[in-house]
Amino acid sequence: MSLLHFFDCDLEGVSQWGQSRGMPRHAATQWLNWVYRKGVVDPAAMTDLSKAHRELVASEFEFQRSRVIAHQSATDGTQKLLLAWSSTDDPTDPPAGALQVLDQRRVARGRETECVMIPSEDRHTACVSSQLGCPVGCTFCASGIGGLEGNLTAGQIVEQVWRLGRLGAVERISHVVFMGMGEPLANYAAVTQAIRTINAPWGLGISARRITVSTVGLPEAIRKFCDFEIPVTLALSLHAPNDQLRREIIPWAQFSTIAELLDACDEWFRRTGREITLEYILLGQVNDTAEHAAELAVHARRVHANVNLIRYNEVRGMPYSRPGSEAVHSFQEILRSKGVNAHIRASRGRDIAAACGQLRHERVRV
Angstrom distance (rounded) from CA 215 to CA 134? 12
Q: Are 275 and 302 in contact (CB under 8 A)?
A: no
Half-sphere exposure of 204 (CA within 13 A, CB side): 31
Closest CA relative to residue 89, chosen from 106, 64, 107, 108: 64
Closest CA relative to residue 111, chosen from 155, 157, 67, 171: 67
For residue 356, indicate whether it is catalytic.
yes
Q: Are 176 and 197 in contact (CB under 8 A)?
A: no
Could you tell me if residue 192 is left (phi over 0), alpha (psi between -120 and 50 degrees) or otherwise beta? alpha
Angstrom distance (rounded) from CA 358 to CA 349? 11
Local structure of residue 338 (DSSP, 8 states):
T
Angstrom distance (rounded) from CA 216 to CA 131? 14
Catalytic annotation, pick one of 114, 149, 159, 183? 114
Q: Are 200 and 132 in contact (CB under 8 A)?
A: no
Spell out the residues 6+ positions from residue 291 whose beta carbon is closer than 8 angstroms to its own: none
> Burial level of 242, CB count in 10 A (0-12/13-18/19+)?
middle
Angstrom distance (rounded) from CA 174 to CA 169? 13
What residues form DSSP beta bridges with 281?
310
Collapsing DSSP to helix, strand or coil, 80 comes out as strand
Angstrom distance (rounded) from CA 164 to CA 350? 18
- Give the containing element (helix H, strand E) for 53: helix 51-60
For residue 114, indicate whether it is catalytic.
yes
Dihedral over Cα of 193, 29, 156, 88: its sign: negative
Catalytic annotation, pick one of 9, 115, 127, 356? 356
Catalytic residues: 114, 356
